[in-house]
Structure formats: structure tokens, C-alpha cells
């Protein structure tokens, strides 16, 4: 069980920089999500922590020890691969006991350990089966068994649910999280699925183009995105941006565009030029009396809620409203925004402007 600290980690593959100067800290026992679109450097970061790639520069501390130049076998870390990578020429029992064999553990002890792990994962009945014929879920459990059997300092998981079908994913993600809570081991988990990251993670790092965009607990990241990329990547549908050219000054509690004023959290940072007014779909309400108008262009019915797409003077936006509300395409509606949750972004840098509401989240990095 260990704390993992990443400092200025960088990885170049020839001319291509996969990871540039990433820094973050993973606390002991945390379920930590590395989230980002494909090619963002999250898997490379994970592989560097595990020792499967050596960083071009930067440091990795596991349990206080600098390990960036150590081989994978010396780091005492377990890795669960996306395609599971179970040794195909061995049966389930041999697969799970393989890491223990490398430590020279006596046979009787290996047997006891494997039996215990099999009991925890509920795979006692398949121990002597070859791995070839196993179902996706069982393969997943065997891969987990091989990881937990040697009680490593930390677990690395590279999209471990990516190979499972949707129905089973849900079940397995709960099982994984429960397993983590029982063992309490530090887990680093790579995913491109923002829902999975929010459901399972204690903390999330959002990466894009090799850089860390934001790092924090799921709710903070959802409510107070540090950049427009995070705001768009997290949440479905993603955050709405109403683009306008204007200014905000320090201490402002209102912003105006399109001849309207909107309440916003008190700003701590001034900006002028191309700005974006960021609001989550669930904080948009449709109200006839409101002077800011838009025309409904689509309605998606989702059961308890519906997603209403609206063309406004500042761009297209989506609102998540109760299905009980009657909305029809072509209708002209007034729009209101919950002022508590608004972020203002500087479009040229993509960064959120600091406000009284998000400073607690954005200050620490």
C-alpha cells in the first residue's frame, strides 16, 4: 500500500511527445482515475508508473522511493491489461500463482494464497480450467486474481472493463470498486469513459494532448472544470458554452451579453475579449417570462428527463428538463441559468476564470 507521486513526468517517442510535464499525487489507498480521450497520454503515464516505459524525464515516487529508473519487476506493482493478457498456455491456477512463483514462495503457501484469492473472487470452480475457454467476466476475475494474489504496493489497470460488453461492465465495475474497498490498495485506473471515472473514482486526473488538464474529486471536476476541454469532456451532454465578446472585471457578480445581464459567482479574475459563459444542461431552465430567448430545434425524450436543444443568439445549447414540461420543436422559449454553477472561460486560452465559487477547486492546481 503506497502513495504515488508523479513529478514533471515527460515521455517522448522520437519527435512525438506523449506526455509533457505531468505532476499529481495519488494518496495511499485511493482509487485514482486517469481519464482522457484516446491518445492523450494516459496509458503512457500508467505504463511509466508500472515500469513498462521509462520516462524521458521526471520522477516517480512509490512509497517515498524514486523508481523511475527501476525495472517493472522491481517496483512491486500489479498491472491489469485491457485484453487481460492471461498466459494462454497455463490454466487458471497457474496463471494466478505465476507471480508468486517468481518470488520463490513455497508450493504449499502458493496453494493457500491462490485458494484464498479464488474464494474472494468467486472463481474456485474454474481453477483447473484452461484460460482459453473462459467468459470475459471470468477472464477479468482471473486477471484480477493474478494482480491481487501477491499483495503489491499498487494496482495499475488499463481500461480493464473495455473488453467487456456493456451489460457486464456495469456489474464488473461495482465488483472492482467493492474489491478495492475491501483490500484498500492504491489503484490507478485508466479509462476514456467519463461516466466510469465519475462512478468509480475517488479522484480523477483529466488529461489531453499529453498534459494534465485538471485533477480532483469527481464532483469538483464536474462542477468546476478548470478548462473548456474538461467542461466538454465530462458530462453527457457536455457543458454549454454561450460565446460572447465582452469583459468581466474583478468583483463582478454579473456578466452581460446580447443586451442581457446574467448573475454569476463573484469573479476574482478580469478578462476581456472572446469569452464563454459555461452552464451545465441541468442548470438551464425554460421559462416563458425570461427575456433571453431561443428556439427549440430538437427534443430527446429520456424517460424522467428530456434533452432540449435550443438555438440561441450565442450558440446552440442543450437543457436537461423534466419530461413533465411540455416542449415542442419550433417553440420560442425563454432561458434562465442557475447562477450558482456558472463558469466563465477565456476562449483564447481555454481556461476558466477564477471566481469565488471555483477558487477552492482551481487554486490547488
Whole-Å CA distances, 255 to 84, 263, 272, 346? 51, 7, 11, 13
Which element (helix H / strand E) includes 319? Answer: strand 315-322
Q: Give yes or no for residue 71 binding another protein (CB under 8 A).
A: yes
Cβ 313 vs Cβ 338: under 8 Å = no
Applying CB under 8 A, among 113, 139, 141, 146 the residue interacting with another protein is 146
Nearest to another protein of 99, 315 (CB atom): 99
Applying CB under 8 A, among 98, 136, 257, 336 the residue interacting with another protein is 98
User: Would you state the cell numbers that stand for residue 126, as one nine-digit string?
Assistant: 474454474
Applying CB under 8 A, among 69, 89, 119, 182 the residue interacting with another protein is 89
Is 18 strand, coil or helix? Answer: strand
Nearest to another protein of 95, 240 (CB atom): 95
Candidate ranges 83-91, 263-271, 280-288, 350-358; the one touching another protein (CB under 8 A): 83-91
Nearest to another protein of 61, 98 (CB atom): 98
Applying CB under 8 A, among 8, 57, 65, 102 the residue interacting with another protein is 102
Cα–Cα distance for residue pair 105/246, rounded to 1 Å: 68
Q: Give yes or no for residue 99 binding another protein (CB under 8 A).
A: yes
φ/ψ (deg, to 5) at 64 = 80, -5
Residue 52: CB atoms within 10 Å: 17
Q: Give yes or no for residue 135 binding another protein (CB under 8 A).
A: no
Cα–Cα distance for residue pair 69/50, rounded to 1 Å: 11
- Window 6-65: residues binding another protein (CB under 8 A): 50-52
Nearest to another protein of 41, 51 (CB atom): 51
Cα–Cα distance for residue pair 222/278, rounded to 1 Å: 12
Q: Which residues make Cβ contacts (< 8 Å) with residue 12, sequence separation at least 6? A: 18, 56
Q: Give yes or no for residue 327 binding another protein (CB under 8 A).
A: no
* Residues at the interface with another protein (CB under 8 A): 50-52, 71-73, 77-79, 81, 83, 85-89, 98-99, 102-103, 146, 150
Amino acid at each position: 500500500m503506497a502513495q504515488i507521486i508523479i513529478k514533471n513526468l515527460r515521455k517522448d517517442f522520437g519527435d512525438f511527445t506523449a506526455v509533457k510535464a505531468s505532476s499529481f499525487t495519488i494518496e495511499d489507498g485511493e482509487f485514482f482515475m486517469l481519464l482522457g480521450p484516446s491518445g492523450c497520454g494516459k496509458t503512457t503515464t500508467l505504463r511509466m508508473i508500472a515500469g513498462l516505459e521509462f520516462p524521458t524525464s521526471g520522477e516517480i515516487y512509490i512509497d517515498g522511493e524514486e523508481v523511475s529508473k527501476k525495472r517493472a519487476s522491481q517496483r512491486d506493482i500489479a498491472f491489469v491489461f485491457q485484453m487481460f493478457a492471461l498466459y494462454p498456455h497455463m490454466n487458471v491456477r497457474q496463471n494466478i500463482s505465476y507471480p508468486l512463483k517468481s518470488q520463490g514462495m513455497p508450493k504449499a503457501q502458493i496453494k493457500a494464497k491462490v485458494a484464498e484469492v479464488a474464494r474472494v473472487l468467486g472463481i474456485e470452480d474454474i481453477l483447473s480450467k484452461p484460460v482459453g475457454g473462459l467468459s470475459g467476466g471470468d477472464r477479468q476475475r482471473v486477471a484480477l486474481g493474478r494482480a491481487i494474489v501477491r499483495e503489491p504496493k499498487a494496482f495499475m489497470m488499463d481500461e480493464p472493463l473495455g473488453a467487456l460488453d456493456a451489460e457486464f461492465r456495469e456489474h464488473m465495475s461495482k465488483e472492482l470498486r467493492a474489491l478495492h474497498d475491501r483490500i484498500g490498495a492504491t489503484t490507478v485506473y485508466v479509462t476514456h469513459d467519463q461516466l466510469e471515472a465519475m462512478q468509480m473514482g475517488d479522484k480523477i486526473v483529466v488529461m489531453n494532448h499529453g498534459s494534465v488538464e485538471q485533477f480532483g474529486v469527481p464532483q469538483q471536476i464536474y462542477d468546476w472544470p478548470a478548462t473548456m476541454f474538461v467542461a466538454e469532456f465530462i458530462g453527457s451532454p457536455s457543458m454549454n458554452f454561450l460565446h460572447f465578446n465582452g469583459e468581466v472585471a474583478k468583483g463582478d457578480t454579473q456578466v452581460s451579453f446580447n443586451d442581457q445581464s446574467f448573475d454569476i459567482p463573484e469573479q476574482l479574475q478580469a478578462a476581456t475579449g472572446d469569452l464563454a459563459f459555461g452552464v451545465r444542461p441541468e442548470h438551464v431552465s425554460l421559462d416563458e417570462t425570461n427575456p433571453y430567448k431561443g428556439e427549440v430545434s430538437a427534443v430527446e425524450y429520456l424517460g424522467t428527463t428530456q434533452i432540449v436543444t435550443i438555438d440561441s443568439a450565442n450558440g446552440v445549447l442543450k437543457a436537461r428538463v423534466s419530461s413533465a414540461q411540455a416542449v415542442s420543436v419550433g417553440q420560442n422559449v425563454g432561458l434562465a441559468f442557475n447562477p450558482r454553477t456558472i463558469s466563465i472561460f477565456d476562449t483564447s486560452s481555454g481556461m476558466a476564470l477564477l471566481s469565488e465559487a471555483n477558487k477552492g477547486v482551481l487554486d490547488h492546481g
